[in-house]
Structure 1
Amino acid sequence: MISGTVVGQVWSTRRIDGIPAGAFLEVEVDGSGSRLVAFDVLGSGVGEHVLVTQGSVAASWFTGTPPPVDALIIGSIDPTG
């Protein structure tokens, strides 16, 4: 798992069939400054600290045929924790 902060939204005018409802967000990985695009079904926003999973685990979370999603936001990290 990766922890990071949502730094922006990724906008597209078209998307392939099979991508479920949700948003693509840009996440800056804690401690490295690198960024990745993660699919979000939780409704996360810019500035929110999140947990991200990658690879087959991310795609297998969805029911039916797995969509082509390589990174998935799976949780929001409480800033008071």
Structure 2
Amino acid sequence: MIKGRVNGKIWSSRHVDTLPGGALLEVEIDGGGRLIAFDPLGCDAGEAVLVTQGSVAAAFFKGRTAPIDALIIGSIDEKTK
């Protein structure tokens, strides 16, 4: 799993029909780098998240083939001081 923070949404006016309902988010990876991840949870900008990639991400959508390579699987609760 990859830990990161949501930078914001990626807007797409056209996409393949097999893409499930949800959002595409840009995630800043802890340690450097960025990726685009599919978000079925409704995460917001600035939120810390856990991301999985590859076949695990695509297999999440049972009964349909989804062109997903990175999937947000959790929102990390952070303590405030």
Query: Which portions of structure 1, spanning 4 or more consecutive aligned residues, are displaced by more than 2 angstroms?
Result: none
Normalised by the length of structure 1, the TM-score is 0.94
User: How large is the RMSD of aligned CA atoms in angstroms?
Assistant: 1.2
The one-letter amino acid paired with 2:12 is: S
Alignment of 1:42-81 (within 5 A): 42-80=41-79
Unmatched segments (≥5 aa) in structure 1: none
Alignment length, in residue pairs? 80
Residue segments in structure 2 that go unaligned for 5+ positions in a row: none
* TM-score, L = length of structure 2: 0.94
DSSP 3-state at the match of 1:58: helix
* Deviations, residues 7-29 of structure 1 (Å, cap 9, x unaligned): 01100111111111000000000
Identity of aligned residues (%): 62
| SS at structure 1 position matched to 2:36 | strand
